[in-house]
């Protein structure tokens, strides 16, 4: 009972984090084709600057290989420093163009210019007051996803279907970051305003029908519903919906 209550409190905290971020990273601005080689993001889930990059990835429906680099981490931080020359996050590596970029605003500008062929929308442009609100958002979630915890390292990369503004998905990303577990982030942002709302009660009444031909449609055809987070672990064959179930699984399978 206590565990369930704590989870609900964490969900409310995550809702506050999304609110401080003005719910960016929910709606898709422009769905762009996935690049031939995956983008690699060295990332700290609780870092407000990393959050800005993940918001832009959702806005463009871009997937990415996430290399978690929490404070105290020993797996990917050294690799990030070897690639970029310093331990600073976010760090984006684009294997398609050879670009390696620091600074969230520069990365966001690059993503929109390179993959959407357009300037950054005003909603996603960096503003002076965003730093304070971003820090408040991280504090609202008790800085989960900031520091490393002892965990086993999986042989194969996990797969997480998520979108940045999802409070439930954030809880899973926090744990993956703390455990330094690499994962493929499959962004599944909302493709139309009628999809706003939780999976069980969207704004548009009636049976849910995703836009034909989109990423959500493909997910719907495969699973019969569109709900995040959804985790697949190729190391064990587990495939899970529901944040509480996923968190319990990660604790049982990987915590030390």
Structure confidence at residue 202 (pLDDT): 65
Each residue's pLDDT tens digit, 75-123: 999 999 999 999 999 999 999 999 999 999 999 999 999 999 999 999 9
158: containing domain: 2-188+228-254
Displacement of CA 217 from its chain's centroid (Å): 20
Question: Is 50 within a domain?
Answer: yes
Specify the pLDDT at position 131: 82
pLDDT reported for residue 3: 81
Q: What is the pTM of this model?
A: 0.95
We report the CATH number of the domain holding residue 32 as 3.40.30.10
Predicted pLDDT of residue 2: 72
Cα 188 from Cα 169, distance rounded (Å): 11
- pLDDT score recorded for residue 54: 98
Q: Is residue 214 part of a domain?
A: no
Asked if residue 60 is part of any domain, the answer here is yes
Q: Does the residue 199 lie in any domain?
A: no
- Number of compact structural domains in the chain: 1
In the predicted model, residues of the chain with pLDDT beneath 70 are: 1, 197-204
CA 128 from centroid of its chain's CA atoms: 23
Integer Cα distance of 229 and 245 in angstroms: 10
Contact yes or no for 145/174 (Cβ under 8 A) = yes
Q: What is the reported pLDDT for 193?
A: 75
What local confidence, expressed as pLDDT, does residue 127 receive? 84
Question: For 123-150, what is each residue's pLDDT tens digit?
Answer: 999 888 888 888 998 998 999 999 999 9
């Amino acid at each position: 009972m206590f565990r369930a209550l704590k989870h609900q409190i964490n969900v409310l905290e995550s809702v506050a984090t999304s609110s401080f971020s003005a719910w960016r990273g929910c709606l898709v601005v422009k769905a762009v084709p996935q690049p031939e080689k995956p983008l690699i993001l060295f990332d700290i889930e609780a870092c407000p600057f990393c959050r800005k990059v993940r918001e832009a990835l959702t806005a463009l429906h871009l997937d990415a290989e996430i290399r978690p680099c929490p404070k105290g981490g020993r797996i990917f931080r050294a690799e990030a420093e070897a690639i970029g020359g310093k331990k600073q996050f976010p760090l984006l590596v684009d294997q398609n163009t050879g670009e390696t970029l620091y600074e969230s605003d520069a990365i966001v500008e690059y993503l929109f210019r390179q993959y959407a062929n357009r300037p950054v929308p005003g909603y996603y442009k960096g503003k002076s007051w965003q730093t304070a609100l971003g820090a408040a958002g991280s504090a609202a979630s008790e800085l989960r996803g900031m520091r490393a915890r002892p965990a086993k390292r999986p042989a194969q990369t996990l797969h997480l279907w998520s979108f940045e503004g999802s409070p439930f998905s954030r809880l899973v990303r926090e744990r993956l970051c703390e455990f330094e577990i690499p994962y493929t982030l499959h962004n599944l942002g909302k493709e139309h305003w009628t999809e706003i709302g939780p999976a069980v009660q969207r704004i548009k009444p009636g049976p849910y029908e995703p836009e034909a031909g989109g990423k959500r449609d493909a997910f719907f055809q495969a699973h019969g519903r569109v709900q995040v987070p959804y985790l697949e672990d190729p190391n064990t064959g587990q495939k899970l919906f529901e944040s509480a179930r996923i968190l319990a699984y990660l604790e049982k399978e990987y915590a030390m």
